[in-house]
Amino acid sequence: MRRWPFLSAALPMSVLLMAAAGASTPRPVSLPLTASTTNAIQATTVLTVGDLSSSIERFSDVVVERGTKWTVETPPGVATNGGIVMANFGPRLVTATLPSQLLRFTPLASTNDGATWVPGLFDGSIQRAPNALTQRRGITALLDAQGRLHESLNGTSWHTVRLPKALQAAVLRQGPCRGRLVAVALTGAGPVLGRSCSGAVRSSAVTPTGTAMPTNAQSSTPRSTLRLEATALGLREVVWLPKKHSVELHAITAGMAWHDSVVARATLEKVTATAVSMNGSVAVLGRIGDGSVLVQIGPTGVVTAFSSLPPNARAVVFSPSGTMQVLSVVDHVRRQIASLVTVWNVAGSKWMTTTSFGVQVPYGSSH
């Protein structure tokens, strides 16, 4: 009987604690837009240059490698302060410039040669995530800021794909995921979606029917799809586990049914850039403590970590031949001149410069 007072106090307290835990909104995961994708023709990356501490002096540029030549192929006519997300399919590159300042909709642009651009437009805001835009065989798909999926054949007229209730953003926020849709990939077996879940789930990838992908993940935890790319060897999903400070690479294939195998996991405190190669390798640039770390996960799950990196490493790119390269950037904010990008290859544990080029930074143009 003497226990009752304690229990009567502990019960409402535990209920309160549980309610508080359930009601708390974990911080949304910030997905790095510095992302590279590679196909047989070209490697493409979005690089951020300029004054990184200023929202109006920080510009995003599209940098493309064809053969051994690097060119800056930023879509013209629109300020890129909000960032760029892009999608590559064959020679065709599609970009979406995220709205910034007073712009409220998303200018799109596509090119086959990096010189001639065909403008498009999405009358809304696109999700701020590297794989919020994708394309395959003439179809472009994107996720808007509310997590709705839209498809277009021409880049200007869009139709909204009806998602089952289980996937709709509001329901996602109420369900176990409590998150949003952040990635879309168009595969031969249909679209696959990636989620950013603040609730504990075992799989962040889902099909448009709302079915979670079968997963080999060991435990339920908050997880966010960092990248979702269709490669020659199937789908590659790079997942960020914020509570475990680690990234996971999932190889997802479609046979009679979707199949997932967790390829590898690597520990990082923060992710700043990602790259996916044509053969399914993944590279993640991040930080542990004050130091930069690059983790490469091969298609068979071999993990290679590089703690000694070129100074100012800002992006990682796989060339069409499969070579991993690091792009380092030196900005000249005070002198307000072009940023210098240097491309590095690794040989053993040594980094060698292969080429360097300038990226114009239009300081002051977005004032």
Partner 1 sequence: MTGMGGGGVETGNPVVVEAFHTLLLHQCLIVLAILLAGSLLWLLLSGPATQPRNNSPEPRARAVLRYGFAGLWILDALLQAQPSMPLGLPDGVLKAGAETSPSWVQHLAASGAGIWIRQPVVSAVAVLWIQLGIGIWMLLAKRGVPSRLAALAGIAWALVIWVSSGFGGIFAPGASLLLGAPGASLLYVLGGVLLLVPTAQWAAPRFQLLIRRLLGGALIAAGILQGFPGRGTWLGIDAKGQVVGQLASMASDMADVRQPSFLSAIVRHFSSFAAHWPILVNGLAVCLLLGVGWVFVLRSTKYLKVAMWIGIVFFLAVWVLVQDLGVFGGLATDPNNMIPLAVLLFAVGTATLQPSEELAASALESLAAPEQTESAPVPQRLPHPIVLWTSTIASVLVIALGVIPLGVAALVGSTDPVLALALNDPPQKANFAAYPLHLVDQHGVPVSMATFRGRAIAMTFLDPVCVTDCPEIGSEMAVTSSLLGSDASKVALVAVLANPTYTSLDAVRAFNRHLGLNSVKNWYFLTGPLPELERVWAYYNAGTVNVAGGAMTLHNDLTYVFDAKGRVRIILNSTPGGTGVLHDSYSALLARELRTVLP
Whichever of 64 and 266 has its CB closer to partner 1, that residue is 64
Residue 206's alpha-carbon distances to 103, 181, 270, in angstroms, are 32, 9, 25
Whichever of 34 and 277 has its CB closer to partner 1, that residue is 34
What's the min distance (Å) between Cβ of 367 and partner 1? 7
What's the min distance (Å) between Cβ of 317 and partner 1? 19
What's the min distance (Å) between Cβ of 148 and partner 1? 17
What's the min distance (Å) between Cβ of 125 and partner 1? 11
Contact 316, 328 (CB under 8 A): no
Whichever of 72 and 169 has its CB closer to partner 1, that residue is 72
DSSP 84-148: EEEEEETTEEEEEEPP-TT--SEEEEEESSSSSEEEEEESSPBPSSTTSEEEETTEEEEEBTTS-
What's the min distance (Å) between Cβ of 109 and partner 1? 7
What's the min distance (Å) between Cβ of 215 and partner 1? 38
Whichever of 45 and 198 has its CB closer to partner 1, that residue is 45
How far is 8 from 6, CA to CA, in rounded Å?
6
What's the min distance (Å) between Cβ of 66 and partner 1? 19
Whichever of 99 and 130 has its CB closer to partner 1, that residue is 99
Whichever of 101 and 307 has its CB closer to partner 1, that residue is 101
Whichever of 2 and 367 has its CB closer to partner 1, that residue is 367
What's the min distance (Å) between Cβ of 73 and partner 1? 10
Whichever of 273 and 361 has its CB closer to partner 1, that residue is 361
Amino acid in the structure at residue 266: A
Q: Which residues bind partner 1 (CB under 8 A)?
A: 59-61, 72, 74-81, 97, 99-105, 107, 109, 117, 119, 121, 123, 156, 338, 359-362, 365-367
